[in-house]
Amino acid sequence: ALAQAAIYLSLAPKSDAAYQALNRARADVEQTIAEPVPLHLRNPVTRAMREWGYGEGYQHAHALPDALPDMACLPPSLAGRRYYFPTDRGVEKRIAERLEEIRRARGRQS
């Protein structure tokens, strides 16, 4: 199995798109003000947290017909920011197509 994995990896189309995405995200973490996590993304583990609005408005993707929640997950200062730009090679080509489908479904431009 290890030999098969090594062969697969040596023959797979190469890309550093994920690495570059990590670098872009890391730069934003280092260069932006630490904003609070939006209330709808906070886990309401106590009654007080529920009363404060934690988790209110959260959209569970698996429960939606198209599995595409339309809720902000980035802080306002980073709204619309993109980090991952897949290549047009290998599986990344299909990932790019899927990302474009999602953007169209949400009514956003590429």
Domain ranges (residues) in the chain: 16-34+75-110
User: What is the CB neighbour count within 10 angstroms for residue 86?
Assistant: 19
Please state the pTM of the whole predicted model.
Answer: 0.76
CATH superfamily of 16-34+75-110: DNA polymerase III clamp loader subunits, C-terminal domain (1.10.3710.10)
pLDDT by residue, tens only, the chain of 110 residues: 999 999 999 998 899 999 999 999 999 999 988 889 999 999 999 999 999 999 999 999 999 998 999 888 988 889 889 999 999 999 999 999 999 999 998 886 55
Cβ-Cβ contacts under 8 Å for 85 (sequence gap 6 or more): 17, 20, 21
Q: Residue 8: what pLDDT? A: 94
